[in-house]
Structure 1
Amino acid sequence: MRITAAVARFASVTRDEVLQDRPHRRVERIGDTVRRPTYPWSPAIHALLQHLEAVGFRYAPRVLGLDEDGREVLTYVEGESGPQGWAKVVDDAGLARFARLLRDYHDAVQDFVPPDGVSWSTGKAGAGDDEVICHGDFGPWNVVWQGGHPVGILDWDYARPASRIHDIVYALEYVAPFRDDAECLRALRYPDPPDRRHRVELFAATYGLTSTSGLVDAVIEVQRDGIEQVRTLADAGMQPQVDWIAEGHLEELEGRISWSQANRHLFE
């Protein structure tokens, strides 16, 4: 599917902006569209986004096709994201909206059946009976906000078949958060050390979980899974995972697991 001439003409006379400029990944805004590189799993992502459009889930970008350079073309979602997203989940209201957004996504994707022949970044194809297609990278940086309200979810490249709990505990690692007080105050926009137990309980209740039992162990397991995913993608020559290993990122990830194990009393 190629981007239509009408969209291309519209984009050429409106705002252009480089959103991300890395050697392996240049992302540009051209008018009301975003141009991103494609990957072997892009057909699966496009099918997922088309399903979300068909069921009326308004928080995902729309797929418009490929441009003349073979880049995927998505609709641009206006708002604050990236580093600004962390501040939006510090208070209870923002955290609850973040959890509700994840629940709404999981409900919207529940009936999605991936097309035959597509695979995800994990290499897995179909979903099991108790699985949905998880976002796979549901963190504050990948949610777009307008004021105090989420309006979009970005960066679907790590979507994969998994149980809902995978996305839940992945998100909890970052919004509980499973980080020490110094990092919360320095980098994550908290004015005071967070009440992590309260935040886990609020997130779980808003999402619709009936218990927080087992969540800490599940977070630690997802942290371990993240290390294996980095290794797998790096072994396949994918960036930025190759650079992450060269830069010692795996040691940082292993340190996070150690911190989670030593401080689980803060969450339970």
Structure 2
Amino acid sequence: MDFEAVARAEVANAQARPVRIVDGVVTRPAGSNAETVQGFLRFLRGRGLECVPEPLGFGDGVEMLRFIPGDSGGDAWRHQHTDEGLASAARLLRRIHDESQAWNSPADDLVYCHGDPGPWNFVWKDNSAVGLIDWDYLYRGPRLDDIAYALHWFVPLRSDELALRWHHFPEVPDRRHRIKVFLDAYGDLPKFDVVGVVTGRMEATRDLVRRLAHEGQEPQRTWVHDGALEREDEEIAWVRQNRTLFT
């Protein structure tokens, strides 16, 4: 793993989407779907979900949201090492998915997916997930899309080296156990091939990064320049080759 390249990509991400927090208000550049996202967040909060940011509108090309106190970003990893933290994130995601079905949707099994539900986008207090932020990739789709993405990063379905160095686990986690904890906490899911679903989601995410980079968007362009697509191909192959760790 080229950690220097990853660090450069993180800097590019911060430069592309600078975020400021002043007096409890988050301001950041408005994405192309910011109006839709704010409408969705307003809907969820109207149904009693205070676990998503309160939308405060737009001004001068930025969107404004109420800050949710707690740890997120790089401070998030330690909170989800325990079974309790892991399960809390699964339950929160389930609640959001279920409530989302009533927003501009026909009666079917699709939900509104977050699209990027890694530990860094959850807000944490005392090893418990209390919020989910950064809804830039909101879209309507099967709930397994978000579940697969979350499993990849929470379990994680990644190498021992990355679990220790990137995810900061004190020892290599029992991945099979963590998959069960997450899925049991989310609840009421049909059986599915975890490796097949997760690698399929990884491929879809890789392809999205490629497309956005081709369109000149940052930080995706920097990610691709620094070898993100090749690293992702290697990780996909690793998950498939180590199926026995997960099933």
Same fold flag (TM > 0.5): yes
Report Cα offsets for 1:69-95 as digits up to 9, x if no partner: 221010011111111211111111111
Distance 1:34 1:135 in 2: 19
Structure of greater relative contact order (alpha carbons < 8 Å, 6+ residues apart): 2
Please state if 1:64 is matched with 2:56: yes
What residue in structure 1 maps to residue 7 of structure 2? none
Partner residue in 2 for 1:10: none
Q: Structure 2: any 5+ residue segments left out of the alignment?
A: 1-11
**Aligned pair partner of 1:88 in 70, 79, 93:** 79
Task: Name the structure 2 match of 1:12.
Answer: none
Residue type matched to 1:76 in 2?
A: F
Deviation at 1:235, TM superposition (A): 2.5
The structure 1 residue matched to 2:22, chosen from 13, 30, 43, is 30
Deviating beyond 4 angstroms after TM superposition, the runs of 4 or more aligned structure 1 residues are none
Query: How far has the Cα of 1:148 moved from its partner?
Result: 2.1
Give the equivalent residue in structure 2 for 1:119: none
Which structure has greater helix proportion?
A: 2
| CA–CA distance in structure 2, aligned partners of residues 202 and 220 of structure 1 | 20
Secondary structure of 2:157's counterpart equals coil
| Higher alpha-carbon Rg | 1
- 2:242 maps to 1:266: no
What is the alpha-carbon distance in structure 2 between the residues aligned to residue 267 and residue 209 of structure 1? 20
Q: 1:206 is paired with a residue of what secondary structure?
A: helix
From 174, 180, 201, the equivalent of 1:195 is 174
Q: CA deviation at 1:26?
A: 1.2
Does residue 185 of the first structure (1) align with residue 164 of the second (2)?
yes
Aligned to 2:217: 238
- Contact 1:128 1:161 (C-alpha < 8 Å) held by counterparts: no
Contiguous gaps of at least 5 residues in structure 1: 1-19, 115-126
Residue of structure 1 in register with 2:148 after alignment: 169
Q: Compute the RMSD of aligned alpha carbons.
A: 1.8
Shift of 1:211: 5.2
> 1:104 & 1:192 partners in 2: Cα distance?
31
Match of 1:7 in 2: none
**% same residue:** 38
Provide closer, same or farther for how the CA distance between residues 243 and 21 of structure 1 changes in structure 2, counting only shifts above 3 A: closer
1:44 Cα deviation after fit: 1.3
Alpha-carbon deviation of 1:184? 1.3
When the two structures are superposed, what TM-score results if normalisation uses the length of structure 2? 0.90
Q: Would you say the 8 A contact 2:82–2:127 is kept in 1? A: no
The 5 A counterparts of 1:71-82 are: 71-82=62-73
How many Å separate the matches in 2 of 1:56 and 1:89? 24
* Alignment partner, residue 115 of structure 2: 136
Distance 1:102 1:21 in 2: 24
Summarize the Cα distance change of 1:140–1:223 in structure 2 as closer, same or farther, 3 Å threshold: same
1:43 corresponds to 2:35? yes
Taking structure 1 as reference, are residues 227 and 207 closer, same or farther at Cα in structure 2, changes over 3 Å only? same
